[in-house]
Structure 1
Amino acid sequence: MRQLVIGALLLASTVVTSPPAQAAAPATGPASSTPATYSNPVSGDAVRTFPDPAMIRGKDGLWYAYGTTNPIDGKNEHILPMLTSADMVHWTYAGDVYTGEDHPSWWPNGARPWAPDIRYVNGNYHLTYSLSTSGVGLATSPHPTGPWTDRGRIVPAGGSGCPTNNIDQAVYTDVNGDNYLYWGSYDTICVAKMNADATEVTGEVTQIGRGRRMEGGFVVRRDDWYYLFYSDAGCCDGAFSGYTVKVGRSDNPLGPFTTPTGVDLMDLTSKDGIVLAANGNGWVGPGHNAIQTDLSGQDWLVYHAIPSSAPEFGPVTTTWGTTIANLARRPLMIDRLDWIDGWPVVRAGAGPSTGEQPAPVTTWSVGSTFNSGTDGWKGPWKPASDPDSLGHLTGKGSTSELSDETVQGDVRVEADLRLGEGGSAAGLFVTRENGARNITAWLDREQGALVVTTKVNGKTTTASSPLPASFDYGSWHNVAAERRGNALVVSVSADRLGDPLATVATTLPGGAPTSGAIGVTTRGAADADNVGAAPLYTPVTERVADPVLGERLTAYSDEFDGTGTPTAWARVRNPSATLSNGSLVWPTQNAELFQGTNTASILLRDAPQGDFAVETKLTFDGTRGNQQAGLLLYENDDRWLKLTHTVLPLNQGNGAVLHQTEFGKEGPRPGATPPTAVANAPMFGGPAARTTWLRLLYHYDEENGEHDVRMASSTDGTHWIWGGSWSLPRTGPVRIGLISMNTAGATATFDYLRTYEVTSR
């Protein structure tokens, strides 16, 4: 199982405290110290599986995660299980949203709700969940773990207007306060506006994405772009799960969304924009993501993945008494999400992590949740409490509450704020040196705006951004300020989930304080909670380098010169390929290499020893479902890896077909009960064109006895999109092959087959 290796990339901080902060350890809330490291899966000590995770930071200062209905203990099924954590690393089981005896009466018999999404809307937590053909449900609660109140369906059973299953939903709130629901699966993602309370879909349904098994849409807004994260290929097929997280972006929440190479997510081809893919280190099928931000401002991808060493449970009995065989184990994972050149990618492109990694920052250098009092703070504000936030501060008049300790340098400061009756503004001191030198971010009811003021010796500089007309000043909102040098970015959101309701980006004037206390202030009545500062994260700005190919190995290559039958290749089942005009021309055939159906013809030749890369330039004119042609690394008919241009039907597409760069494998299925001799599954890479360049990068993992193979593709032969890796237990050497198969009527034209040494991988 090959592990990509990258050098040290970060992290230097410039926040200091003088003297060190001594905030009281809260009874509940962030841990008293941030773990130095973590190892995936982070749910390992709490539950054995936690698919389709969603995560939120509660107003009590804890993190909460929600998962699909599953046997989280390996035996008994739990309906929408919940976890809680003080540090995003150590999790505790916190109950289930529903039970088999206590659930909405309108659910159909045998319902297994999945893919929860969590949001904070006007003082309540909104949990949406999927019921497939029975629609999308909503439950609300004033606390992250309930008790939950059933709000019925927000997407009706049957005809929602989206030609797909009604699953994998996620809510997004835009800067103008409009709410949107994204949902869909099995090849199509849709979006529609919701009502002001985010309790019902009311707008026209718009299709925004089409792709093989495209699902799990999740939208965030960053730098005026809307990013639609999604997963494609198979989510939950044990060691044969090809799930991959990809992304497109748009300047409108309704799309169109395009990939880094400009491919519209509605185009009938596979897509680039790979955020996370299997890398051969023992995790397969990483996907169905959410996003969380730590206290330093660093984003984290929250997702599930499958351990290839123990990919499946045995038969499991559901809440309703039915049996599910070979249910995949999908524990909770987190990894650093980097934004490089305007696009998100996990760990700079290194993929899922294994072993110890730098942990999320979950403790402030200065700050408190106020769940255990107000030690470390000075001012007239009083302690108060409620069931949602637990301990918090309340202030009246024109008053301020300040930290005893100070911060300086690059810093992230945040607070949860809300206005009381008659309150006109609540503010966060980003830095307060004294009354004449301070930087303050205000939720200003009178101006209807997020207002940032910088005072320098009697002169005030102001920048602002309007808040939505529907903004509820009486419910908690998070105000977060990030200072890097003299650049300041302040945003306000309900739930810290990448959906800012207003953002102010400004350059601080000369003389602005660079050190001082943090705190909160008010004009009128206001409450404050979770006030703190941490060193601002250091962004990663360069991707992990792509593999580098070395010298061409001519003994293992073919330019396809000459005419007639290619003589340098072994022929399996008499392929009808011929040489013509410097190419190998091969019509597709009605034959397969699928599990027990091994009828397709193959051209084979020996592969070199050690690491190598094999490449071909393929022109393919397929138009009918399942026609395919491309590369093969072959042990035998039931043990192989292939990379093809494949034509696949679009579900609910009225006959439309998708052109996919399909990376598949076939081999023994570990862990299946009863044992399964052989299984077959794909993942998908970048877009396929009429002429597509295909590469397979081979490595023999001697320690684990596996073939590790990574795919890449190109539509111009110069710019390559490197995708995920498959691993396959080795019983013998692979040979290099070509195929053109599955459905007759198309022609594959191979310009060459070239094999290279690998300089770096």
Structure 2
Amino acid sequence: MLPILRSKDLVSWEYAGEVFTPQTKPAWHGGARLWAPDIRYVGGAYHLYYSLASGGIGLATAPTPTGPWTDAGKVLADPASCPTFDIDQAQFTDVDGTHYLYWGSYDTLCVAKMNAEATRVEGPAVQVARGRRMEGGYVVRRDGFYYLFYSDAGCCSGAYSGYQVKVGRSTSPAGPFVDDEGVDLMELTSKGAIVVGANGNRWAGPGHSGFQTDLSGQDWLVYHAISTADPDFPPITGGPSGLTKRPLLIDRLDWIDGWPVVRAGAGPSEGAQPAPVTAFEAGGTFKDGSLAGWRADAGWSIRNDRDAGGYASRTGTGVAYLTSTARTRSADVRAQADLRVGAGTAAGLTFAHLNGNNHVVAWLDKGRRALVTDVVIGGTSRGRQLTALPAGFDFGLWHTVVAELRGTRLNVQVTSDKLGDPVAEQRRDLPRAAARPGSVGAVARGAADADNVGAAKLYTPVTQRVPEPEPGEPLPDFSEEFDGTTIGAAWRWVRGPAPGVGVAGGTLTWPTQNAELHQATNTASVLLRDAPDGDYTVEAKLDFAPTQGNQQAGILLYENDDRYFKMAHSAIPLARGDGAVLKVSEFAKEGERPTTTPPTAVFTAPMFGGPTARTMWLRLSYHHDAANDETEVRAATSRDGERWVRGGVWTLPARDKLKIGLFSMNRAGAVATFDYVRTYRD
């Protein structure tokens, strides 16, 4: 269950073996399936952290990404140290060199410090996030913040998978992490800051993601999603049933106003897209075993080893340059080099390089134990700037120096694996004369090694989200302000009238019922009215304070008891929460799931929207996708009626016309107060 695939362009992939075979699989696994691999480059070796389906986290190490892999045992010494299911781990190294492990599923995420070798958790576990089916957490450090990506809702229910990727950020790797409305990820509510969710095209349940940066500096989200046209595996003879197909996707990740979002909020892509940049404009990888295309001072030659393959190595004393004969066409570039300091005192990345008297350089300086940048114009330094490297930094191991120059602003990072965890970062402004096209290369003081030295045009950031659709003209004939003393004539009951419902003071009050609207149990009352033709949005203002698990109230777009879309303020017990109850924005659909074996006629699944409050505004937006004859419904929630968290899209094959509905159900003891129901043309 841990296959290895490799690619030269992040588009075309080939099979490259397995981490474990039946012969090499460790006995301590107990026959469990393995999943959720997280691979890092730590201490000169590749560390593969993985989960056991039965619970538990293991580590394998290897000298190359394709192995051979050696079992390094369990990572968690005390599986009871955090109230979570011990899977879905991710390692992270901070700027001070401290290693951390994040893990957890159903329904809590935890973090703990690791030992110096990043092989075992040693420190106490700290809870950093909790939410219904929260899992798959990992951290990326950017602009002084730590971003905790995670997924929530269901991963693996075919076209009914409500998985989404969300994020919180903190100024510390141990939290507290908050969403984009400032809600702590430990609060007992659903969270916003949605990175990617279903958008109504073929992809459902996008979630459990990873992070990658291409050679232009553009970030990408790598994640699973489910094709609604082909969501499930057939039964496996002698094996598990009900498995969901979850192919891997990759989409552009934008950072807008300090928050990450896929394709500026457009969601999963469909059809041909611009590919990641995976080739240097100037420079190269030395894989051809020669220095062709390079200008080399004395002492540079090509060597080989098992992991790096061909790389450039310099012997001798003094300073020696190795620079590309090709130059970048743009001054805005992203340059990088894998560097290793041998018997010398420093190895560096040079770019915007005209000659030894005119260039910019970023050194790994062993004597100063620092990242040192220098700008040389006309043979004169315009100022060196130092950033300390972590105390345990090993100059004899490969590290990557990455420099991004945009205008005159320079950002340099030192990292082991370019996965959003730099161990040193430096920003500075350059003189205008230094910001120019030029060569890229490596430079050494004494003996040093360099590999993968090159530069590409720096990506152009996307700074604006795609416009969000806003409701259009009001449709008063399909709206209700509850200004009278009785329910209006446009409304009609299914299994009603519900006990205790009343209209007074401009509101409709409705005590929650001990009744359900769920698969085969359809006992709850539903209040319905006709919906308009064409596309529309229904909005309701709801005051609701559930106190017990499973109490819920909200709005429906209802076809029948077995086909509907529901937007609810719900209370759901927290797994492993010692009785704690989550209050969530629950966007659910119910309908047929014919691909299950044996066939399941009716299936229900939720997505979780933004944070809840006693007074909330709920929206459901209807659209008929004529090309695919599908009903698409998107949900949104707000805590003030102004700022909206727009969630994902559920779809069903179009059949009968939907109706607008209200409900208050599942467990008695709370009261829902509806201030209005308003419908708008879209």
Corresponding residue for residue 145 of structure 1: 66
How far is 1:431 from its partner? Answer: 1.9
Corresponding residue for residue 50 of structure 2: 129
Corresponding residue for residue 172 of structure 1: 92
Corresponding residue for residue 55 of structure 1: none
Which string of whole-angstrom CA distances, capped at 9 and with x for unpartnered residues, describes residues 644-699 of structure 1? 00000011111110010000000011422221111100001100100110001100
SS of aligned partner of 1:361: coil
Corresponding residue for residue 186 of structure 1: 106
- RMSD, aligned CA: 1.1
- C-alpha distance in structure 2 between counterparts of 1:97 and 1:626, whole Å: 43
Selected match of 2:308 from 379, 389, 393: 389
- C-alpha distance in structure 2 between counterparts of 1:619 and 1:567, whole Å: 23
Corresponding residue for residue 615 of structure 2: 691
1:478 equivalenced with 2:400 (yes/no): yes
How far is 1:248 from its partner? Answer: 0.4
1:401 equivalenced with 2:325 (yes/no): no
Selected match of 2:468 from 546, 566, 577: 546
SS of aligned partner of 2:75: strand
Corresponding residue for residue 368 of structure 2: 447
Contact 1:248 1:257 in 2 (8 A): yes
Corresponding residue for residue 645 of structure 2: 721
Amino acid at match of 1:378: R
SS of aligned partner of 1:348: helix
Which string of whole-angstrom CA distances, capped at 9 and with x for unpartnered residues, describes residues 86-140 of structure 1? 000001111111123320111123x011111010001110000112554210000
- C-alpha distance in structure 2 between counterparts of 1:296 and 1:515, whole Å: 15
- Structure 2-normalised TM-score? 0.97
1:278 equivalenced with 2:202 (yes/no): no
Contact 1:432 1:513 in 2 (8 A): no
Corresponding residue for residue 186 of structure 2: 266
SS of aligned partner of 1:246: strand
Contact 1:642 1:663 in 2 (8 A): yes
- C-alpha distance in structure 2 between counterparts of 1:587 and 1:410, whole Å: 62
Corresponding residue for residue 529 of structure 1: 451
Give structure 1 regions of 4+ aligned residues with deviation exceeding 6 angstroms.
none
1:81 equivalenced with 2:3 (yes/no): yes
Corresponding residue for residue 376 of structure 1: 293
Residues 200-215 of structure 1 correspond to what in structure 2 (within 5 A)?
Answer: 200-215=120-135
- C-alpha distance in structure 1 between counterparts of 2:53 and 2:122, whole Å: 19
- C-alpha distance in structure 2 between counterparts of 1:383 and 1:415, whole Å: 15
Contact 1:135 1:156 in 2 (8 A): no
How far is 1:495 from its partner? Answer: 0.2
Selected match of 1:595 from 509, 519, 527: 519
How far is 1:516 from its partner? Answer: 2.2
SS of aligned partner of 1:106: helix
Query: Which structure 1 residue ranges, 5 or more long, are not aligned?
Result: 1-78
- C-alpha distance in structure 2 between counterparts of 1:299 and 1:539, whole Å: 10
Amino acid at match of 1:391: G
- C-alpha distance in structure 1 between counterparts of 2:105 and 2:79, whole Å: 14
- C-alpha distance in structure 1 between counterparts of 2:660 and 2:433, whole Å: 67
Contact 1:437 1:513 in 2 (8 A): no
Contact 1:643 1:663 in 2 (8 A): yes
Which string of whole-angstrom CA distances, capped at 9 and with x for unpartnered residues, describes residues 408-437 of structure 1? 4111111101111x2210011122112211
Query: Which structure 2 residue ranges, 5 or more long, are not aligned?
Result: none
Amino acid at match of 2:525: S
How far is 1:515 from its partner? Answer: 2.6
Query: How many residues are treated as equivalent by the alignment?
Result: 673
Amino acid at match of 2:270: T
- Structure 1-normalised TM-score? 0.87
SS of aligned partner of 2:206: strand
- C-alpha distance in structure 1 between counterparts of 2:177 and 2:664, whole Å: 33
1:294 equivalenced with 2:214 (yes/no): yes
Which string of whole-angstrom CA distances, capped at 9 and with x for unpartnered residues, describes residues 558-582 of structure 1? 0011124443211010123221211
- C-alpha distance in structure 2 between counterparts of 1:632 and 1:242, whole Å: 17
Residues 230-269 of structure 1 correspond to what in structure 2 (within 5 A)?
Answer: 230-269=150-189
1:639 equivalenced with 2:563 (yes/no): yes
- C-alpha distance in structure 2 between counterparts of 1:309 and 1:124, whole Å: 41
Corresponding residue for residue 46 of structure 1: none
Contact 1:433 1:513 in 2 (8 A): no
SS of aligned partner of 2:460: coil
- C-alpha distance in structure 2 between counterparts of 1:100 and 1:679, whole Å: 37
Corresponding residue for residue 308 of structure 1: 228
Contact 1:311 1:670 in 2 (8 A): no
Identical-residue share of aligned pairs (%): 59
Determine which structure has greater relative contact order: mean sequence separation of CA pairs < 8 Å that are 6+ residues apart, divided by chain length: 1
Corresponding residue for residue 218 of structure 1: 138
Which string of whole-angstrom CA distances, capped at 9 and with x for unpartnered residues, describes residues 25-71 of structure 1? xxxxxxxxxxxxxxxxxxxxxxxxxxxxxxxxxxxxxxxxxxxxxxx
